[in-house]
Amino acid sequence: MKNLFYYILFFSFLFSAKIQEDDIELFLLARFGGDSSNVSGFISDEFIYEHTPYVGLGVETRYVDESLLITKVLDDSIQKYLQVGDRIYEHNNEIVDSLGLITNGPIGEQQKLIVIKNGERDFRVMEIPLDEFHYEENKILFLESVMRYSEKWYDYDLEIIDILRKKNTIVVHYRWEGSREENGKIYTFSAIEFYYINKKKVLIDKIVGLWSEKQFRNQFE
């Protein structure tokens, strides 16, 4: 019944004259629910998502066979240390798990990693400094992120705190909370995002995020 409600709202969006504030809530529900098909219907082919700058190691990983497999390097500067296909087994003397790399500290602080480089068999001890990274995702990468994000969470809840509109820009403030397993620990974050609407196409051209990833990651300490 819940899915039917979402689809009714989605089709009402398709035939509306412009994106309304209520459509943004539907977009967020589809986004965090992993419904990449519906999300795709909201965004233009030229869509860009601008992530908030954050301090970290500049890689994206996936938990595979008791290690974190590097699936993406966000900046060329990190490639002198880590590349796609490398596997991380320990981080700061802690065995990694499905929560991923939890980095906390100032720019320049050294992080100790136990790594097997792609194509090698032996472990390496590496020390890599934290740095600030800012990156964007196009439509294809954003939809892939939608799918990966939903796979990490058992359940979630979304609360729209406020939505403001000025011409072709919508600002939304929302609170997300979720758990990774049934009756598991609850993690939360609050976000403010700017949605830039293409008036002619009635689609979202760009989203700029303003929440701090560190706020979310600090809960895993």
The domains of the chain are located at 2-52+134-220, 54-133
Q: Which amino acid is at 136?
A: E
Q: How far apart are CA 63 and CA 123, in angstroms?
A: 18
Q: Measure Cα distances from 135 to 8, 38, 60, 123 in Å.
A: 34, 24, 12, 30
Query: CATH fold of 2-52+134-220, please?
Result: Nuclear Transport Factor 2; Chain: A, (3.10.450)
Domains 2-52+134-220 and 54-133 share a fold: no
Say how many C-beta atoms besides its own lie within 10 A of residue 156's C-beta. 17
Residue with tokens 């700017």: 194
Yes or no: say if 32 and 39 are a contact pair by the CB < 8 Å rule: no
> Which residue, among 134, 126, 111, has the nearest Cα to 58 in the 3D structure?
134
Instruction: Find, among 131, 104, 101, the residue nearest to 115 by Cα.
Output: 101
pLDDT of res. 2: 42
Instruction: Specify the pTM.
Output: 0.72
Q: Which residues does the chain have with pLDDT short of 50? A: 1-16, 219, 221
Measured between alpha carbons, how far is 200 from 55 in angstroms, rounded to an integer?
Answer: 37
pLDDT in the model for residue 219: 47
- Residue-level pLDDT at 11: 45
Which residue spans within the chain are E strands per DSSP? Answer: 43-50, 54-56, 59-64, 67-73, 87-91, 94-95, 110-116, 124-129, 131-133, 136-138, 155-166, 169-179, 187-198, 203-209
Fold of 54-133: Pdz3 Domain (2.30.42)
pLDDT attached to residue 216: 52
The whole-angstrom separation of Cα 105 and Cα 74 is: 19
